[in-house]
Amino acid sequence: MNDDAVIATNDDASECKRNAVQLGYWKDNYISHLIKHGKRRAPEINRGYYARVKGVEKVIHKFLQRVGDKAQIINLGSGYDTLYWRLMDENISIANFIEIDFPSVTARKCYLIKRNKHLLEKVYTQDGEVKLSATDMHAGSYHCLGVDLRNTAELEEKLQQAECDYNAPTLFIAECVLVYIENNCVDRLMKFIAGKFPNALFVNYEMCNMNDTFGDVMMENLRARGCNLAGIASCKNLETQQQNRFGNNNWSGSKAWDMVNVYYSFPAGEREKIERIEFLDEQELLIQLFQHYCICIGWMGDTFDGLFIEDA
Ligand X SMILES: C[S@@+](CC[C@H](N)C(=O)[O-])C[C@H]1O[C@@H](n2cnc3c(N)ncnc32)[C@H](O)[C@@H]1O
Q: Is 258 in the site for ligand X (CB under 6 A)?
A: no
Using CB under 6 A as the binding rule, the residues of this chain from 81 to 100 that contact ligand X are 81
- Nearest CA to 186 out of 251, 231, 154 is that of 231
Residue 260, interface with ligand X (CB under 6 A)?
no
Query: CA–CA separation, 7 vs 9, rounded Å?
Result: 5
Minimum CB–partner distance for residue 177 and ligand X (Å): 4
Q: Which is nearer to ligand X, 151 or 265 (CB)?
A: 151
Shortest distance in whole angstroms from residue 230 CB to ligand X: 9
154 makes contact with ligand X (CB under 6 A): no
Sorted by sequence, the CB contacts under 8 Å of residue 80 that are 6+ apart come out as 10, 14, 31, 34, 35, 105, 109, 112
Which amino acid is residue 282, in one-letter code? E
- What are the DSSP calls for 26-75, one per residue? S--SSHHHH-S------HHHHHHHHHHHHHHHHHHHHHHHHHGGG-EEEE
Strands 253-258 and 131-132: what pairing? unpaired
Q: Which of 50, 84, 97, 180 binds ligand X (CB under 6 A)?
A: 180
From the list 101-109, 211-219, 240-248, 299-307, the region that binds ligand X by CB under 6 A is: 101-109
139 binds ligand X (CB under 6 A): no
- 176 belongs to the binding site for ligand X (CB under 6 A): yes
- Cα separation, 266 vs 9, in Å, equals 27
Shortest separation between residue 105's beta carbon and ligand X, angstroms: 5
Tell the smallest beta-carbon distance from residue 181 to ligand X (Å).
Answer: 5
Backbone CA torsion sign across 25, 30, 31, 33: positive
Distance (Å, rounded) from C-alpha 140 to C-alpha 201?
23
Torsions phi, psi of 89, nearest 5? -65, -25
Residues touching ligand X, count (CB under 6 A): 20
Cβ closest to ligand X, residue 125 vs residue 221 = 221
What backbone phi and psi angles, to 5 degrees, belong to 59? -65, -40
Q: Of the candidates 102, 142, 246, 251, which one interacts with ligand X according to CB under 6 A?
A: 102
44, 99, 101, 258: which one binds ligand X (CB under 6 A): 101
Q: What's the Cα-to-Cα distance from 32 to each of 17, 111, 280, rounded to whole Å?
A: 10, 15, 26
Residues 268 to 307 in contact with ligand X, rule: CB under 6 A: none
Does residue 79 belong to the site contacting ligand X (CB under 6 A)? yes
Piece in contact with ligand X (CB under 6 A), picked from 8-16, 133-141, 162-170, 273-281? 8-16
Question: Nearest-5° angle of CA 260, CA 264, CA 267?
Answer: 155
Nearer to ligand X by Cβ, of 178 and 260: the residue is 178
The contacts of residue 67 (CB under 8 Å, 6+ apart) are: 169, 303
Per CB under 6 A, the list member of 54, 58, 111, 148 interacting with ligand X is: 148
Q: Does 78 bind ligand X (CB under 6 A)?
A: yes
**Contacting ligand X (CB under 6 A), which of 34, 83, 105, 229?**
105
Among 78-86, 208-216, 255-263, 283-291, the segment contacting ligand X (CB under 6 A): 78-86
> Which listed residue (20, 181, 207, 256) binds ligand X by CB under 6 A?
181
Whole-angstrom distance, CA of residue 2 vs CA of residue 278: 36
CA dist., res. 13 & res. 53, Å (int):
11
Q: Does 55 bind ligand X (CB under 6 A)?
A: no
Residues that bind ligand X in the complex, under the rule CB under 6 A: 6-7, 9-10, 13, 77-79, 81, 101-102, 105, 148-150, 175-177, 180-181
